[in-house]
A and B are shown apart, each in its own frame.
Chain A
Amino acid sequence: MRSDARAPLGLTIGAILGLAFLHLPILLIFLYAFTTEDRSYQFPPPGLTTKWFAVAWNRADIWPPLYLSLRVAAISSAVALVLGTLCAAAMARAKFFGRDTVSLLVVLPIALPGIITGMSLRSAFAIGDIPFSTFTIVLGHATFCIVIVYNNAVARFRRLGASMLEASADLGANSFQTFWHVILPNLGSALLAGGMLAFALSFDEVIVTTFTAGQQSTLPIWMLNELVRPRQRPVTNVVAIVVFVATFLPILAAYYLTRGGEETAGGGK
């Protein structure tokens, strides 16, 4: 079995079927957004129409959740950018006592199921008598977004190495000048990628959010309610496409930003 040998036929078929299994279901969403049938999920669609996009646009109940989702995702990824970069910088600098504990702590919010993060925050809000607000949603989102930025930044720091920073110091730059003129430009695309992935993750998050939102509705929560009690199914399809595109584009951009590096963005979610 040489590495340049052709793959056995069975393996090739298995791999293609596996990839098809991963992709075909999503394509179906696009088809259903154009169906004329609005009472069931009938396949094939009895007819095609584009009117649902206009209907969705004019639905007043979609816009506030969309704004809330965008606001939460923006704040959360900003917080995660700062905290994740700081953490990565510290980890890249030195081996110190408790290093493994820190990396475990960063990964934990995403390694444990969302329901644990959600229920934990819910318990804390109950004990502390903290009312639900945008802030409580952000608390949860920023926590699990830190690891995304961290992963991207730490890989770039590793590639940057110590010699550039030493050269900068030898040329007389102080720590802040080195940060501004050397570290930040080198880190830029990794941070952008990390920030976009964090944004996508936050924009789409629903499990933790249901525990921390109270009566507020983010776009995924709006969609979840529609799934449980459908009102106008094709409108939900249109929103699904919007959510899909809003997460798909940042992910694709993040991939192209970090391509060719030793660590490509998105290796772990």
Chain B
Amino acid sequence: MSGAAHPARGAGDRLTAVFWSRPKLLTLLLLLPPLLWLGVVYIGSLVALLIQSFYSIDEFSGLVVPEFTLKTYGELLIPSNADVILRTVAMAAAVTLAAVVVAFPVAFFAARYAKGRWKAVFYLGIMLPLWSSYLVKVYAWKLILAKEGIITWAAEGIGAGNVLNAVLAIPVIGGNSLSTSYIGTFLVFLYVWLPYMILPMQAALERVPTSMLEASADLGAGGWRTFRSVILPLAAPGVIAGSIFTFSLTLGDYIIPQIVGSSRFFLGQAVYSLQGTAGNIPLAAAFAVVPIAIMLVYLTVARKMGAFDAI
């Protein structure tokens, strides 16, 4: 193929001849650098994380004992640590459910009704908040939720100051002000992860064939019936795909609860403070394995339900 029509002129041509006769070689050469990087840096680090989680801390010296033990994982079951895990999972579930509700109208409108110019508006309208600075978004909410901030001002302006105080007086989820309560943490999580729910949902809804909706109408179904029996089941994979993001991101975040929320720890904060000031890397690593384990279960279930066709 190579030599017959064009005699080889240099090293480049000779290599090209080799690539033509053994196409797998080129594929392998192309793959080698990225695979080496990801394999060594990323997979290597994940293995290091697993190894660390099986080490423990010597209680007297505070030094890491590099010997295999399950003691560190056992510490996760201490009530105060188990509480952190349960609290985080509960928050992740609440954020995911709320994201489904808020995302649906936006995704449905963008997928079904936005045309031409409006399609672009919706696309950018979802994409820009998704990509714009995470920290700036969190910061914006610190301003909004502050006791002297815009929500208090607006609530008092429309004479709903009492309502706000009543909400803040609710035990557990309330607090001194919105920015020091679980409600605040929840709102910021919802805000920051919402685009991750809208996008896969919209992708799934765009794939619902119009003919199916027409068939449903022809068979006598009203708008609500079509929605419940046709659209929702077909959108489900998108919802599950979105929930993977919102759930996993909430599980692993430690900045948001640190800046907006009560002083009680979430999982990410436990990891961060344990590896930092406490210097207990094994326990921090064991904590970090928890979201991986939860997400593995979640992904296995999601895969069975066909969620990966929608990403």
In whole Å, how far is A112's beta carbon from the nearest beta carbon of chain B? 7
Q: Are B129 and A143 in contact (CB under 8 A)?
A: no
Q: How far is the CA of A248 from the CA of B130 in the complex (A)?
A: 10
Which stretch of B21-29, B73-81, B163-171, B232-240 is in the interface?
B21-29
Which of A52-60, A103-111, A184-192 lies at the binding interface? Answer: A103-111
Cα distance A88–B283 in the bound complex, in angstroms: 38
Indicate whether A143 sits within 8 Å of B38 (C-beta atoms), given known contacts A115-B272, A123-B45, A207-B255: yes
Chain B residues with CB under 8 Å of A115's CB are 252-254, 268, 271-272, 288, 291
Inter-chain CA distance A223–B268, complex, in Å, is: 19
- Does residue A26 face the partner (Cβ distance < 8 Å to B)? yes
Please state if A122 and B128 are interface contacts (CB–CB under 8 Å). Answer: no
Whether, in the assembled complex, B195 has its beta carbon less than 8 Å from a beta carbon of chain A, the answer is: yes
Complex contact A1–B12 (CB within 8 A): no
Q: Per a CB cutoff under 8 Å, which of A93, A172, A175, A206 touches B135? A: A206
A84 within 8 A of B: yes
A146 to B15 alpha-carbon distance, docked (Å): 27
Asked if residues B34 and A204 are in contact (CB atoms below 8 Å), the reply is no
Nearest-CB residue, chain A, relative to B19: A175
B149 touches which of A7, A43, A244, A268 (Cβ 8 Å):
A43
**Chain B positions 80-108 with a Cβ under 8 Å from a chain A Cβ:** 102-106, 108
Q: Does A89 contact B (CB under 8 A)?
A: yes
Q: How far is the CB of A245 from chain B (nearest CB, A)?
A: 9
User: Among B30, B103, B132, B213, which residue has its beta carbon within 8 angstroms of that of A251?
Assistant: B132
Known: A43-B148, A123-B52. A25 touches B288 (CB 8 A): no
Contact partner of B146 (CB less than 8 A), chosen from A22, A41, A117, A205, is A41
Q: Chain B contacts of A131 at CB under 8 A? A: none
Residue interface mask B176-207, A partner, CB < 8 A = 1 = 00000000000000010011101100000000
Shortest CB-to-CB span from A114 to chain B, Å, is 6
A129 to B253, CA, bound (A): 26
B133 in the interface (beta carbon within 8 A) = yes
A247 contacts across to B, CB distance below 8 A: 131-133
| Cβ-based interface call for B110 (8 A) | yes
Q: A19-B125, A113-B249, A146-B37 are in contact. Are A227 and B139 (CB under 8 A)?
A: yes
With a CB–CB cut-off of 8 A, which chain A residues contact B254? Answer: 115, 207
**By the criterion CB–CB under 8 Å, are A15 and B105 in contact?**
yes
Which residue of chain B has its CB nearest to the CB of A203? B133
Interface string of B203-231 (1 = CB under 8 A from A): 00000001001101100000100100000
Asked whether, in the complex, the Cβ of A87 is within 8 Å of the Cβ of B30, the reply is: yes
Q: Which residue of A lies closest to B139 (CB)?
A: A240
CB contacts (< 8 Å) of B49 on chain A: these are: 116, 119-120, 123-124
If A40-B146, A120-B48, A172-B6 touch, whether A23 touches B113 (CB-CB below 8 Å) is no
**When the two chains form their complex, are residues B31 and A269 in contact, meaning their CB atoms are under 8 A apart?**
no
Chain A residue, CB-CB nearest to B102: A18
Residues of B within 8 A of A211 (CB): 272, 275
Q: Are B27 and A94 in contact (CB under 8 A)?
A: yes
User: Per a CB cutoff under 8 Å, which of A44, A113, A121, A123 touches B251?
Assistant: A113
Please give, as numbers and ranges, the residues of chain A lying within 8 Å of B272 by CB-CB distance: 115, 210-211
Chain B positions within 8 Å of A175 at CB level: 12, 15-16, 19, 26
Cα(A223)–Cα(B124), bound, Å: 26
Residues of B in contact, count (CB < 8 Å): 106
CB <8 Å contact, B108 and A267: no
Question: Please, which residues of chain B bring their CB within 8 A of the CB of A177?
Answer: 12
User: Is the CB–CB distance between A26 and B191 below 8 Å?
Assistant: no
Flag whether B68 is at the interface (Cβ < 8 A).
no
- Residues of B near A26 (CB, < 8 A) are 129, 132, 136-137, 140
User: Judging by beta carbons under 8 Å apart, are B27 and A90 in contact?
Assistant: yes
1/0 contact trace for A72-100 toward B, CB 8 Å?
00000001001110110110011010000
Q: How far is the CB of B237 from chain A (nearest CB, A)?
A: 16
Please indicate the chain B residues that have their CB under 8 angstroms from the CB of A268 in the complex.
199, 311
Cα distance A89–B24 in the bound complex, in angstroms: 13
Complexed CA–CA distance, A142 and B28 (Å): 21
Q: Does A137 contact B (CB under 8 A)?
A: no
Contact of A244 among B31, B136, B198 (CB under 8 A): B136
A120:B45 contact, CB within 8 angstroms? yes
Query: Per-residue CB proximity of B116-148 to A under 8 Å, as 1/0?
Result: 000000111111111111111111111110101
In the complex, what's the smallest C-beta–C-beta distance from A193 to chain B, in angstroms? Answer: 12
Evaluate contact between A93 and B291: CB separation under 8 angstroms: no
Report the Cα distance A176→B12, complex, angstroms. Answer: 7
Residues of B contacting A255 in the complex (Cβ-Cβ under 8 angstroms): 124, 127
Contacts of B259 in A (CB 8 A): 227-228
Complex contacts, B213 vs chain A, CB 8 Å: 1-3
Check B264 for interface membership: any CB of A closer than 8 A.
no
**What 4 pairs between A and B have smallest CB-CB spacing?**
A113-B252, A14-B105, A15-B109, A120-B45
Name 20 interchain pairs, CB-CB below 8 A, sorted by A. A3-B213, A14-B109, A18-B103, A22-B125, A25-B140, A29-B143, A32-B143, A79-B37, A120-B46, A124-B44, A169-B16, A175-B19, A200-B131, A211-B272, A211-B275, A220-B133, A228-B258, A240-B136, A247-B132, A252-B124
Q: What would 14 more interface pairs be, CB under 8 Å, given A119-B49, A126-B281, A227-B142?
A: A14-B106, A18-B102, A22-B191, A23-B125, A26-B137, A41-B143, A83-B37, A116-B46, A116-B252, A116-B288, A123-B281, A128-B48, A169-B20, A176-B12
